[in-house]
Amino acid sequence: MLQSYFYVYSIMTLEKGDDMKSIFPRINNTTLDIKKNTRVISLINELKVKGILPIEELKYIIENISQNECQELFYIANMVKEKYYKKKVYLRALIEVSNYCKQGCFYCGINRDNKSIKRYRLSSSQIFDSVKNAYNLGYRTFVLQGGDDPLLSDEFIADILIKIKNIYPDTRITLSLGEKSQESYDKLKIAGADRYLLRHETASFKHYMHLHPRDMFYDNRIKCLHYLRGSKYQVGTGMMIGSPFQTSDSLVSDLMFLYKFQPEMIGIGPFIHHHDTPFKDYSDGGLYETLVMVALARIIVPKALIPATTALGSIISGGRELALKAGANVLMPNLGPEDKRELYSIYDNKITISDSDNEFKTKLENKLIKEGHIVDYSVGDHIDLEGVK
C-alpha cells in the first residue's frame, strides 16, 4: 500500500541536474520490482536497532538506495514516529515577521545583497493580531520566523513574547530569527520563548563555505546551537537537500551531527533556487532525496519533532503529505498577514495559502483525517518534555 502511494510520484523525480546524481546516484531508479538491494535493506534495519551506523555504512545507504528500498525505509521511519507520537500531526501557526536580513547566504532570496525584493517588517500589533487570529482558530504554538534582521531587537521581540504569554499562557512560542549571542537567547527565553529553530544547513565546514560569504562562519552557527541548548530551549536544526556542492560525505556528516546533538526538532527540505541569488542556475533538490533524509533523521533521532516543510510542498503537489508518511509529524501553515506572505520569498515558486485561514484549516483537517492522521493543535512538545514548562 505504502509502495503504491509513493510510486505515483516516482516518475516526477527524473528531471534532475547532474549535480544531484553525485549524492543519490540510484534514487531515480523507477523500476519497482521484487529485486532489492539486500545490503541496503539490512543496513536500514540495523540502523533501526542500533540508532546509528558507521560512516561508511551510512554512505553506502545514500549511494545505493533506489526507490525499491525507499518503501522499506519510509515504512520503518513511520513506525518509529508512531511509536512515540502515534498518528498525530501537530499544527503550528507560522508568522513570517520580517524579510530583512543582514546575512548573505548564497541560496536565499531574502539575503542582504538582493536589491530587487520588496522588503517588509511587521509591527508589534501586526504580529499580535496574527497570533490572536491563530489562537482563535485553535493553534497553540506560534512560530515567529524572520531574516536575521538587526532592527528586530531583543527588546522588541521580548515585549511581544511577554504580551503573548500574558494573554495566552496556554501556548508555546517558537522563534527562528537567526544567530544571536548567549545573552540574547537568554533574554528571549526569559521573556517567554520556548523553542528556537536554527538550521545548521550543512555539517561540513567545506560545504558551509561554498554556501555562505566569508563573513559567515560555520563555527559560529554551531556555537549558537549550543548556546540555545544552554539556554534551555527546545532546539531545532536541519539542512537543505540537493544544495550546490553537496556530497554523500556531507550528508553523512549531517546525519552524524543530528545523532550527536539530538535536537528536539529537525527541519529538512529540498534546496530550491531563487532567481535573484548566486545559485539561480543550479538544479533544485529532489523529492525522494529529501524524503530519504527525513526518514533517516527520524530513525537516528526517533523522538524529534520533524516538520513536513513548505519547500517539499513547493517542489511537488502533495510533497508534504508524502513526508508525513516518511517520518515527519508537524505542519506549519502560514498565518501571517495575507499581503505579506508572498514577500517572504526565500526561494522561487513558494506555495502560499489562497483560501481564507478558516477554509484552509477545514480542508487541511479533512485531508489529514482522510490519510489516517490525527490532527493535533495542542502545544505539542517534544515527548520527553510533555508537561514540563
Cα(60)–Cα(85) distance, integer angstroms: 29
Side chain identity at 8, as an amino acid letter?
A: V
User: What pLDDT score does 33 carry?
Assistant: 57
CA dihedral for 262, 265, 270, 275, sign (positive or negative): negative
Angle (CA) 181 185 187, round 5°: 115
- Per the structure block, which three cell numbers stand in for 310? 513548505
Instruction: List the single range of 55-59, 324-328, 350-354 with lowest mean pLDDT.
Output: 350-354
| Mean pLDDT value of segment 47-67 | 97
Q: Is the pLDDT of residue 106 over 70?
A: yes
Is residue 77 within 8 A of residue 326, CB to CB? The reply is yes
Instruction: Read off the pLDDT of residues 58-98 as tens digits, 9 standing for 90 and up.
Output: 999 999 999 999 999 999 999 999 999 999 999 999 999 99
User: What pLDDT score does 11 carry?
Assistant: 28
Q: Is the pLDDT of residue 32 over 80?
A: no
| Mean pLDDT value of segment 6-20 | 37
CB under 8 Å to 142, separation ≥6 — which residues? 92, 93, 95, 131, 134, 135, 164, 171, 172, 173, 174
- Local structure of residue 137 (DSSP, 8 states): T
CB under 8 Å to 26, separation ≥6 — which residues? 63, 64, 65, 66
- Per the structure block, which three cell numbers stand in for 70? 525507499
Give the distance between the most distant pair of CA atoms in the chain.
60
| Whole-number average pLDDT of the chain | 92
Instruction: Read off the pLDDT of residues 153-204 as tens digits, 9 standing for 90 and up.
Output: 999 999 999 999 999 999 999 999 999 999 999 999 999 999 999 999 999 9
CA dihedral for 316, 359, 348, 328, sign (positive or negative): negative
Q: How far apart are the first and last CA of the chain?
A: 40
Residue 14: pLDDT band (50, 70, 90) is very low
Of 145, 166, 152, 177, the C-alpha closest to 333 is 145
Of 241, 172, 155, 164, the C-alpha closest to 201 is 241
Side chain identity at 200, as an amino acid letter?
A: H
- Per the structure block, which three cell numbers stand in for 182? 548567549
Residue 376: pLDDT band (50, 70, 90) is very high
Rounded to the nearest 10 degrees, what angle do helices 55-64 and 38-50 cross at? 140
User: What pLDDT score does 388 carry?
Assistant: 67
Is residue 22 within 8 A of residue 247, CB to CB? The reply is yes
User: What pLDDT score does 34 carry?
Assistant: 58
Provide the 3-class DSSP secondary structure of residue 382: coil
In the chain the domains, ranked by start, together with CATH numbers, are: 2-83 (no CATH), 85-380 (3.20.20.70)
Cα(241)–Cα(246) distance, integer angstroms: 8
Is residue 285 within 8 A of residue 272, CB to CB? The reply is yes
Q: What is the pTM of this model?
A: 0.93
Cα 95 to the center of its chain, rounded Å: 15
Instruction: Read off the pLDDT of residues 274-331 as tens digits, 9 standing for 90 and up.
Output: 999 999 999 999 999 999 999 999 999 999 999 999 999 999 999 999 999 999 999 9
| Mean pLDDT value of segment 120-127 | 98
Cα(240)–Cα(286) distance, integer angstroms: 11
- For residue 331, the cross-strand partners are 91
> For residues 252 and 20, which has the higher predicted lDDT (pLDDT)?
252
Q: Is the pLDDT of residue 21 over 60?
A: no
Cα(317)–Cα(321) distance, integer angstroms: 9
- Local structure of residue 327 (DSSP, 8 states): T
Q: Is the pLDDT of residue 15 over 60?
A: no
CA dihedral for 70, 245, 274, 329, sign (positive or negative): positive
User: What pLDDT score does 389 carry?
Assistant: 58
